């Protein structure tokens, strides 16, 4: 879905007070791998939703691909008994491993919906929600 955004709009297009899709994407990248890494290692770090991307969409897309691989690796390291353990992700979000992972998923679904709004506003037909 991210590839459908024209470069300029990816970094500047906003609707009704929403952040740009680049900013939304950086939030997702700031949560997924760092959050799962903290779940696996219990090494807490401050939430960071910004990274240097040189104002290039391809840099964000490359990071997305790298992080997808890391998510797969980290997910495999979570033991079944860990899901009910208490965590305090990023030093500020208390819950269980399970509730934290559900938050990650719900947050991504929410932002994917925002991405669909942006695509439609730009006259681009988004992919069917079930296409990955």
| Helix (H) / strand (E) containing 117 | helix 97-121
118 and 19 in contact (C-beta within 8 Å)?
no
Per-residue model confidence as pLDDT tens digits over 11-56: 999 999 999 999 999 999 999 999 999 999 999 999 999 999 998 9
Taking only the tens place, the pLDDT of each residue in 52-108 is 999 899 999 999 999 999 999 999 999 999 999 999 999 999 999 999 999 999 999
Mean pLDDT of 7-13: 90
Q: Are 99 and 84 in contact (CB under 8 A)?
A: no
- Virtual CA dihedral for 112, 116, 122, 127, nearest 10 degrees? 110
Phi, psi (deg, nearest 5) at residue 19: -70, 165
- Quick one: pLDDT at residue 4? 82
């Amino acid at each position: 879905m991210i590839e459908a955004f024209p470069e300029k709009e990816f970094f500047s297009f906003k609707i009704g007070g929403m952040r740009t899709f680049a900013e939304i994407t950086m939030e997702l990248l700031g949560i997924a791998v760092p959050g799962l890494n903290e779940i696996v290692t219990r090494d807490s770090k401050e939430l960071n939703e910004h990274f240097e991307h040189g104002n290039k969409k391809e840099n964000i897309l490359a990071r997305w691909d790298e992080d997808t691989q890391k998510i797969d690796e980290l997910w495999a390291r979570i033991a079944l008994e860990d899901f009910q353990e208490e965590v305090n992700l990023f030093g500020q979000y208390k819950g269980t491993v399970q509730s934290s992972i559900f938050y990650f998923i719900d947050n991504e679904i929410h932002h994917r919906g925002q991405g669909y709004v942006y695509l439609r506003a730009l006259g681009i037909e988004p992919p069917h929600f079930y296409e990955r």
